[in-house]
Amino acid sequence: MIPRMRTLALILLVTVTVTVTGASASAGEVAKPAMTNALPLWPAGVPGTIEDPTQLNHKRAGEIPTLTPYLVAGDTPTALIVVCPGGGYGMRAAHEGEPVARWLNSIGVSAAVLDYRVFPWRHPQPLNDAQRGLRLARSLAAQWKVDPKRIGILGFSAGGHLAGSAACFHDAGDAAASDVVARASCRPDVAILCYPVITFGDQRHNGSMEALLGKQPDPELRRKLSLELSVTAANPPTFLWHTADDKAVPVANAQLFADALTNAKVRVALHIFPEGRHGLGLAESHPTVRQWTTLCAQWLKEVGFR
């Protein structure tokens, strides 16, 4: 296991090398504005039900999950990253959505912000939405001028758990499906996890677990969704960052996932910053933590996403 930091004066980087190839996109191109209307993930009807009938009038019960694209202009197909804002599986933080998509555009990467279902919806509905978002992006790759072999996912906090879940649980699509979206793969080609919720064990963020699984979750499901226990060699290359003194989601979450990826021989970069509150997003006002975007941009270049 990666040892706990004995000093807070470090930025820790762990890298296991795997080669990923892809065409480069130039940074600095002007991004097209997001489409006027977000694209519904499930135009034929949102699947699943709310388990607790007392929550049917919850303010988020009727929300329609969507995918809003932010596409880099140009004729050369770009990579695209699906962005999952955090919010404890009870909301979606705005500062972890569109601003992140705009940052990705600034480095030559197209983006799409996922408005996935949160409480009172429970597992597997958020994961179904993330998988559908990845499939939808791939199915529209030609129209959006993005490379279907360079579709990634990025998430913050509980959105990091969702992105990590998509990285652990995926399939190649159903070739026989009448729905063209369902035929596409939902495997992300890279994952970027920012101060992520990972484990539902001792170092868990209890609020996220309860919102997703309920107050007394099934032990086997709780174990499965402790993502450090579900990593395989099929996980994509992964970039993680966290702050050492995060009081909401312990830094051990990122460390556990990095450990598991290393053991599975999956390429992983882990950055631990000395200090910084939970939920910093792009961290533009933090002189140290704001470096994560520069580090991530370089890593995306190394894995062929720029």
- Whole-number Å distance between alpha carbons of 258 and 250: 14
Q: What is the pLDDT of residue 127?
A: 98
Cβ neighbours around 77 below 10 Å, total: 20
**Ramachandran quadrant class, 157 (left: phi over 0; alpha: psi -120 to 50; beta: rest):** left
Bridge partner residues of 81 (DSSP): 111, 152
What is the pLDDT confidence band of residue 37, given thresholds at 50, 70 and 90?
confident
Write out the E strands in 85-145.
110-115
Write out the E strands in the chain.
12-15, 39-40, 66-70, 78-84, 110-115, 146-156, 191-194, 238-243, 268-273
DSSP state for residue 32 in the 8-state scheme: P
- Whole-number Å distance between alpha carbons of 224 and 105: 34
- The CATH number of the structural domain formed by 12-20+68-302 is 3.40.50.1820
Question: For the segment 177-213, what is each residue's pLDDT rounded down to a tens digit?
Answer: 999 999 999 999 999 999 999 999 999 999 999 999 9
Q: Where are the domains of the chain?
A: 12-20+68-302
**Global pTM?**
0.89
Percentage of residues in the chain having pLDDT higher than 90: 88
Contact 192, 152 (CB under 8 A): yes
Q: What is the pLDDT of residue 212?
A: 98
Q: What is the pLDDT of residue 27?
A: 40
| Chain-centre distance for alpha carbon 239 | 10
Give the relative orientation of helices 125-139 and 158-168 as an angle to the nearest 10 degrees: 70
Q: What is the pLDDT of residue 25?
A: 35
Percentage of residues in the chain having pLDDT higher than 70: 88
- Whole-number Å distance between alpha carbons of 115 and 151: 17
Question: For the segment 81-136, what is each residue's pLDDT rounded down to a tens digit?
Answer: 999 999 999 999 999 999 999 999 999 999 999 999 999 999 999 999 999 999 99
Instruction: List the 146-156 sheet strands across, edge first.
Output: 12-15, 268-273, 238-243, 191-194, 146-156, 78-84, 110-115, 66-70, 39-40
Region 50-76 average pLDDT: 96
- Whole-number Å distance between alpha carbons of 122 and 212: 5
Q: Is the pLDDT of residue 11 over 50?
A: no
Q: What is the pLDDT of residue 295?
A: 98
Region 245-263 average pLDDT: 98
